Structure formats: structure tokens, C-alpha cells
Chain A
Amino acid sequence: MSRAFLGLPGPPPRAPRDTGYLRGQRPFPSAAHAALEDSQQRRNLGKATGTIRDKRARMVEEVPDWERLRSAGAAIKADALARLPELLERFESAVTERGGVVHWARDAVEANEIVTRLVADRGADEVLKVKSMATQEIGLNEHLAAEGISAVETDLAELIVQLGGDRPSHILVPAIHRNRAEIRDIFLREMPGVDPDLDDDPRSLAEQARKYLRAKFMDARVAVSGANFGIADTGTLSVVESEGNGRMCLTMPETLVTVMGIEKLVPSFADLEVFLQLLPRSSTGERMNPYTSMWTGVTAGDGPREFHLVLLDNGRSATLADGVGREALRCIRCSACLNVCPVYERTGGKAYGSTYPGPIGAVLTPQLAGMHETRDDPNASLPYASSLCGACYDVCPVKIDIPSLLVELRHQHVERSRYTAEAAMMRAASLAMSSATRFTKAQRASRLGRVLGGSDGRITALPPPFAAWTSARDLPVPPRETFREWWESEQGRAAMARARREAERGEW
């Protein structure tokens, strides 16, 4: 398709609507409704997030320069994002020089096509997967399946999710919503050659998964990974993990295909020093992760013979174009913000409808995929899925000010929306409260609300939209006298005069 050039190019495109997982079926409040009623999941999540939260806090506390590390992490990422085009080109030539092949994918559709072609051209009908958010974001497994290629997740938790026909609910611990009894049931039901006497001891479950995966590692010809970091200077890629299954995938097959979001770039090798301290402590609450794999192009006689790198945009350039919102691209996918989020802890990740749940998902998803793409776009509900408590900002290893980004996205949403009843109420409130004269009139009018309170001064039912308040909370009736009326009253003057006398006599 050719298009006539009519002046300045338009803004970069968002991620496509119909491919990948960056948009749920329903707005957050309605998706959360079902999640809140799932008592098993509430219990599993509460326990798991509480445990990781405490571990992280202990690990961070022992680092004397943690705050400086955070500032360094934020600065390195901000710098890389500020000169991303230049760094990407340097990265491309470094990878190419070392024998890798670089592919550029504008979006999920292109990335899926590139990976599928690479796998099909090698005659493989099965690929091993290293745990990767980017390939989940683009829906690669589903696309491969449609082309007759099965993708096998090798990260234990991803395997549990895949076998259970489920969706991940957490960035780091995708099966966080499952407990060990549920995992045992999934293995018994779905794992070929499973031991029928399998118990739910974590050791037994891990051993069963190991047996299953070992056979896969031995046969695999192609593996697909994501990347935690790409180093522009050297063309090096890195994956950090706990299990070693990723290492197996990165080293054993003949062909390795890596899909990396373009924002994963850091300028130089020395920058990793900062992130390899920040990431494990923030994500798993460990001093360091058990496996850090790094590879640069291909090396004869060692590891894969072919290396393909797919650089994925999928809405990242659009995010980068937003002067405020671009901060979200610093994210290193540690998931610390999920673990401290009181909303996430209760609703779980699936309510966000995106590969990226929790606070970071609420600011990243609407930017990557847009929030005004469909009528009543579910993504527009995500920036409101927060009480703005700020716990996420405090733990973010790259200092993303998530609460401020949420507020900014709410602002952008309101600016783009048609005039609603809410907007009319907000405008009326603004008008009433921008002058003390109008404000005191409104105060007097609201005192009529005293009649709603019955004999005990308790309001228990209000009309919409305030019915959402009284569904679970009472409200006191407005007082007989506002503060400013008291201040002007005889009684108020007397009270203040008494306080002044107490001050003079030092009576307090």
C-alpha cells in the first residue's frame, strides 16, 4: 500500500488491535468483580505477594546505596531513551558484525510473521520458549499454533499456565494465582507421561516438570527468547532467570530467535552493573539471580549456530513520543510494583486484561495499545484502577513515578472523551468552588442532606453515582454549622479567645 506524502509524518502507530494481548474484553471494574469473588485466588495472591514483598524489603534494606542505585538506573534508562534511534543503529551493527541477523518489526503482526517464517524455514514444528513478556505481548504462541508449530514454555510457572489453558496473572510469577494443589491437578490432567502418584510437595512438582522438560531440551532445534537487556556498544543480549531452563534453551538448540522490545537497550556493558543489582532484589527478593546468560552473535562450536534478533516496536515509539508518558519505558519488568499494589493484591493480574498487569501495566498498556481505539475502550479504565497510594513509586528500581503517570493518563483520557455527566459535575464543582461566595451557598444547600440521615445522623443510601459509596459505607450527615460559620460565630470567637489566654498563661 502506498500513501501520498502530505507533509509531516503522523504520530507513530499504537500496537494493533487484533493481535496480541494488550487489551482485555471488559473494563477493569467489571473484570475485577469476578476476581474479587474468587476466594481461592484472593488467598493465594495475598499470601504470595506478602511473602515476596517482605523478601524484597529485607534485600533492599541491606544495600546502603539503594537510593543512589535507583537514581543511576533511572538515569541510564532515561539517557538510552533520549537517544534511542542512534543506539539502536549501533546495536544493529554490533549484532550483525558478530554474526547475528537483525529484523525490525513495526508491530506484533510483523514480529509474529518474522518468527514464524524463521521457524518454518528450518522445518521445525516445535519451538522451546524462554520466559518472555514481549512474545506474550504479541501473542506469538497462538500465532505459531495457527501455523502448525507448537511452542513449549520452559519456565516452570509459564508451563503451569500453558498446561492449564490459563492466562498469566503476574509478570514474574505468572501462576501466582495458583496454589500447589491446583498445580498438581493441572500436571495430572495435562502432562504426558505424568507419575499418577504425584503429590503436591513443591519438590515433587518441580521434579515432575524437570523430567518433562529434559526430554524437550534434548530434541529442540529452535528456541525463542525475549531479552532483559540489549547492550548497544557490544551487541550483547542478556536474560536473567532462576531456574536454568532459559540457559538450556539459549545454548542447546541450533537456532535461537530473540524478540526484544526496543526499549530494553542500555548504552554500554558497564551499565549492566547497576541493573544486575536492582533487578533481582526488586523482583524475586534475591541478592542475585541464579542464572545470568549473555550472548553476542554466534560463536563457532559453542551454542546456537544461528542467531536472529527481532527488534519490536509495537507502540513503543508512540509511547516515547509522549513527553510525560515515556517514563514508563524505563521499566525493567521486575514486578515489584505489582507485589506492593493493594489493588493488584486483591484483583490479581487478569483483571487488567493485558500482558502487563498491576500499576506498571495500568500506565504501559494504554500507551502501547492506546485507550481510545474502540468505543468504550477497556484500556481507558486502567489509569483509574488505582487509589494513587504511591506504594508502586516507592519500590520502583528505576523510579517511574507511576501515580503521576496515572493522573496524566486520566487527564489525557478526559481531554479525548465526549462530554459526560461526570464532566458536567466536575465543571459545576469547579465553578462552585472557585469563589467563596458560591462555595458557602453550596455548603448551605448541602445541609439539606441532613434530612437523609434519619435519627442517628447516619446516611446509608444515596442515589447514583454516590450509591457506589453507600453500598459499603455510611456517611455522616453534614454538620449544623460549617467551620467558617463557627469561626465567625460568638462561640467560635470565645473558643479562640480562650486558646489565646491559655497561650499567654502557658497553661497548656
Chain B
Amino acid sequence: MRVALFATCLGDSLFPEAVKATAILLTRLGQEVVFPPGQTCCGQMHVNTGYQADALPLVRNYAADFADESIDAVVAPSGSCVGSVRHQHGTVAEHHGTPALRERAGRAGGKTYELAEFLVDVLGVTDVGAYFPHRVTYHPTCHSLRMLRVGDKPLRLLRQVRALDLVTLPEAEQCCGFGGTFALKNSETSTAMLADKMRNITATDAEFCCAGDSSCLMHIGGGLSRLRTGVGTVHLAQILASTEQHVLAEPEVIV
């Protein structure tokens, strides 16, 4: 398949290792991976903060980059950006754009997948040949869980990883408190949620907390780093792209 990579603005700018891992993994699995260079951001921050009209140019830009028929599927290493593309772009196009944009946005959104979804549902693989000799706990991010319904797909992928010691995260389905601008506007409540998430993570004795969203990992990792817990964060894609021959040099650990 011809798979277009959607790096997401955060992945492209701040957490490129997760995107590199996605590109390498999909290629290794036999996909033709392309990177449409016009891509930028899904506009979720604008929509979720109330700036729907300002999201319109971003929705238009996404549709222009990914609706093209030469692209079979779009894959992003982020449940929340994919959630925005699939569930919000239509609304923005309808309220502020044209019927033609709505149609294009629908076409682009309809073939956009979160990484674990794409691997399990579209490619039909759970064993991607990965090797990651560490103790890891998995945090299911809210939008992947409740907007995309990825369910246990990420866990099914992780269970096949060689040498991985996967430990269950208590109260895993509770939000980490990120919520985009929520973390700024309601910083104290967000921090209270983060504190409980970190308590559950450190209780597992894991070396890494893994998730499918760099944004949530930035939040969790930011807290783990501040408290010098010594626990790192790593994107699901980085674990899945890691092999015995090419153990990924540096997962994005801030310890």
C-alpha cells in the first residue's frame, strides 16, 4: 500500500523519534511510505479551545495533502490527532467551509488511521518482529480509547515484542490530565490528575511508560522528569520499530 505518514505538528517538531520509528516500521512491513511535505497540523488545539474558525485553514491544508487518490491510507502515531481528523474535520468544514471541503475532508479522514489500528486492522499483524528488553507499562490515551476505540490493539502488539516485560498499569483508563490547553487553563486540576497517574506508573516498577500519543507522553514524562522518578516515556512506535539488529538508539527518555 502507498501509505502517507502524518507526522503531526508535535511529532514533527518536538518528538521526531516516534515519527521516524513509524516510518521505519511501516516500511519494514512492506509499505511504500511517503511524506507529503505540505502537511502541518490537524487543528485539534484550535477546535478544542473554541477557535473553530481558525482551524479551518488547517482542515483545508490536511485535506489538500491527504485526500489525493494516489494515497491508500494515512497513518499517524497519535490517537488524538487521528480522532480530530476523523471526528472534528467534518464539523469544521460544515460550519465554516464549503460542501466541497466537507467532501474532501471526509475522504481524507476516512482513510486516516492511528498506528495500532492500521497495523492490526488493516495490515492484520500483531507480531512485527520487535525486540525491547525493558520493563514497560502501557497507558491507553483517552482519545485512542474512547474516540477511536482502539481497545486492546496496542497491548496485543506489545505482547508479541521479544524480551519485553509488560506490566499492567493500575487505573490505566483514567486520563493523565493533559487535555491540551486544559493543562494550562486548569493547571492545578491537571496536575492533581497527573500526580495520580504518576503514582500508578511508579507503582509498577516499570522503566518506561508507553503510549500511542506523544502529547500525553509529554505530559506524563514532564511530571516524571520533574520528580526525578527515573521512569522514562516511550512511544509505542519506538518499541515496535526496535529490533535485535537495530535497537533504537535513544527512546525519548527524560530522566
Residues of A that sit less than 8 Å from B by CB: 28-29, 32-33, 36, 342-343, 346-347, 383-391, 393-394, 407, 410-415, 422-423, 426-427, 429-431, 433-436, 439, 443, 446, 457-458, 460, 465-466, 468-469, 471-476, 478-479, 481-484, 486-487, 492, 495-496, 498-500, 502-503, 507-508
Are B222 and A473 in contact, CB atoms less than 8 angstroms apart?
A: yes
Are B27 and A496 in contact, CB atoms less than 8 angstroms apart?
A: yes
Are B183 and A33 in contact, CB atoms less than 8 angstroms apart?
A: no
Q: Is B111 an interface residue (CB 8 A)?
A: no
Chain A's closest residue to B147 (CB) is: A390
The docked-state distance in angstroms from the alpha carbon of A434 to that of B184 is 24
The docked-state distance in angstroms from the alpha carbon of A118 to that of B102 is 56
Could you tell me the distance in whole angstroms from the C-beta of A20 to the nearest C-beta in chain B? 26
Chain B's closest residue to A430 (CB) is: B54
Are B12 and A342 in contact, CB atoms less than 8 angstroms apart?
A: no
Chain B's closest residue to A446 (CB) is: B13
The docked-state distance in angstroms from the alpha carbon of A343 to that of B219 is 16
Q: What does the 1/0 interface line of B1-42 toward A look like (CB < 8 Å)?
A: 000000101011111110110011101111001010111110
Q: A36-B189, A471-B187, A482-B12 are in contact. Are A508 and B243 (CB under 8 A)?
A: yes
The docked-state distance in angstroms from the alpha carbon of A203 to that of B217 is 47
B contact residues, total (Cβ < 8 Å): 81
On chain B, the residues within 8 Å of A446 by CB distance are 13
On chain A, the residues within 8 Å of B73 by CB distance are none
- Stretch of B112-120, B151-159, B170-178, B205-213 on the interface side: B170-178
Q: Is B71 an interface residue (CB 8 A)?
A: no
Are A436 and B50 in contact, CB atoms less than 8 angstroms apart?
A: no
Contact of B187 (CB < 8 Å), options: A468, A483, A487, A492:
A468
The docked-state distance in angstroms from the alpha carbon of A390 to that of B49 is 16
Q: A346-B193, A410-B50, A430-B51 are in contact. List 11 more A-B contacts (CB 8 A).
A: A28-B186, A410-B49, A414-B49, A430-B43, A439-B41, A471-B187, A472-B223, A474-B225, A476-B252, A483-B7, A499-B28
On chain B, the residues within 8 Å of A36 by CB distance are 188-189, 192
Are A458 and B254 in contact, CB atoms less than 8 angstroms apart?
A: yes
Q: A503-B29, A503-B30 are in contact. Are A387 and B142 (CB under 8 A)?
A: yes
Could you tell me the distance in whole angstroms from the C-beta of A412 to the nearest C-beta in chain B? 8
On chain A, the residues within 8 Å of B192 by CB distance are 36, 346
Are B191 and A390 in contact, CB atoms less than 8 angstroms apart?
A: no
Chain A's closest residue to B24 (CB) is: A499
Contact of A487 (CB < 8 Å), options: B35, B43, B189:
B35
The docked-state distance in angstroms from the alpha carbon of A468 to that of B194 is 14
Are A496 and B23 in contact, CB atoms less than 8 angstroms apart?
A: yes
The docked-state distance in angstroms from the alpha carbon of A375 to that of B164 is 56
Could you tell me the distance in whole angstroms from the C-beta of A428 to the nearest C-beta in chain B? 9
Are B28 and A387 in contact, CB atoms less than 8 angstroms apart?
A: no
Chain A's closest residue to B41 (CB) is: A433
The docked-state distance in angstroms from the alpha carbon of A412 to that of B50 is 7
Chain A's closest residue to B195 (CB) is: A472
22 contacts between A and B (CB under 8 A): A28-B186, A342-B174, A387-B142, A387-B175, A387-B193, A390-B146, A391-B142, A414-B50, A426-B46, A426-B51, A433-B58, A433-B61, A439-B40, A446-B13, A468-B185, A469-B187, A473-B222, A483-B20, A484-B35, A486-B20, A502-B28, A508-B128
Chain A's closest residue to B7 (CB) is: A483
Q: Is B226 an interface residue (CB 8 A)?
A: yes
On chain A, the residues within 8 Å of B61 by CB distance are 433-435
Chain B's closest residue to A481 (CB) is: B16
Are B40 and A433 in contact, CB atoms less than 8 angstroms apart?
A: yes
Are A346 and B52 in contact, CB atoms less than 8 angstroms apart?
A: no
On chain A, the residues within 8 Å of B43 by CB distance are 430, 433
Q: Is B97 an interface residue (CB 8 A)?
A: no
On chain A, the residues within 8 Å of B27 by CB distance are 496, 499-500, 503
Could you tell me the distance in whole angstroms from the C-beta of B180 to the nearest C-beta in chain A? 8
Chain B interface main SS type: helix
On chain B, the residues within 8 Å of A32 by CB distance are 186, 188-189
Q: Is B245 an interface residue (CB 8 A)?
A: yes
On chain B, the residues within 8 Å of A411 by CB distance are 47, 50-52
Are B187 and A410 in contact, CB atoms less than 8 angstroms apart?
A: no
Are A484 and B7 in contact, CB atoms less than 8 angstroms apart?
A: yes
Could you tell me the distance in whole angstroms from the C-beta of A494 to the nearest C-beta in chain B? 11
The docked-state distance in angstroms from the alpha carbon of A443 to that of B41 is 12
Contact of A388 (CB < 8 Å), options: B9, B48, B57:
B48
Chain B's closest residue to A437 (CB) is: B38
Are B223 and A473 in contact, CB atoms less than 8 angstroms apart?
A: yes
Are B57 and A434 in contact, CB atoms less than 8 angstroms apart?
A: yes
On chain B, the residues within 8 Å of A457 by CB distance are 254
On chain B, the residues within 8 Å of A478 by CB distance are 13-14
Are A410 and B194 in contact, CB atoms less than 8 angstroms apart?
A: no
On chain A, the residues within 8 Å of B139 by CB distance are none
Q: Is B179 an interface residue (CB 8 A)?
A: yes
Chain A's closest residue to B92 (CB) is: A411
Could you tell me the distance in whole angstroms from the C-beta of A490 to the nearest C-beta in chain B? 14
Are A508 and B129 in contact, CB atoms less than 8 angstroms apart?
A: yes
The docked-state distance in angstroms from the alpha carbon of A361 to that of B61 is 36
- In the A-B complex, the 9 residue pairs with the closest CB atoms: A387-B179, A473-B222, A410-B50, A434-B57, A390-B146, A389-B175, A508-B129, A414-B50, A499-B27
Contact of B186 (CB < 8 Å), options: A385, A466, A507:
A385
On chain B, the residues within 8 Å of A469 by CB distance are 183-184, 187, 222
On chain B, the residues within 8 Å of A468 by CB distance are 183-185, 187
Are A479 and B51 in contact, CB atoms less than 8 angstroms apart?
A: no
Chain A's closest residue to B35 (CB) is: A487
Q: Is B161 an interface residue (CB 8 A)?
A: no
The docked-state distance in angstroms from the alpha carbon of A479 to that of B12 is 10
Are B143 and A472 in contact, CB atoms less than 8 angstroms apart?
A: no
Could you tell me the distance in whole angstroms from the C-beta of A357 to the nearest C-beta in chain B? 13
Give the one of A383, A423, A430, A484 with max B CB within 10 A: A430
On chain A, the residues within 8 Å of B16 by CB distance are 479, 481-483, 486
Contact of A433 (CB < 8 Å), options: B9, B128, B223, B254:
B9
Could you tell me the distance in whole angstroms from the C-beta of A273 to the nearest C-beta in chain B? 29
Are A426 and B54 in contact, CB atoms less than 8 angstroms apart?
A: yes
Are B188 and A33 in contact, CB atoms less than 8 angstroms apart?
A: yes
Q: Is B247 an interface residue (CB 8 A)?
A: no
Could you tell me the distance in whole angstroms from the C-beta of B118 to the nearest C-beta in chain A? 16
Are B47 and A472 in contact, CB atoms less than 8 angstroms apart?
A: no
Are B175 and A410 in contact, CB atoms less than 8 angstroms apart?
A: no
On chain B, the residues within 8 Å of A443 by CB distance are 12-13
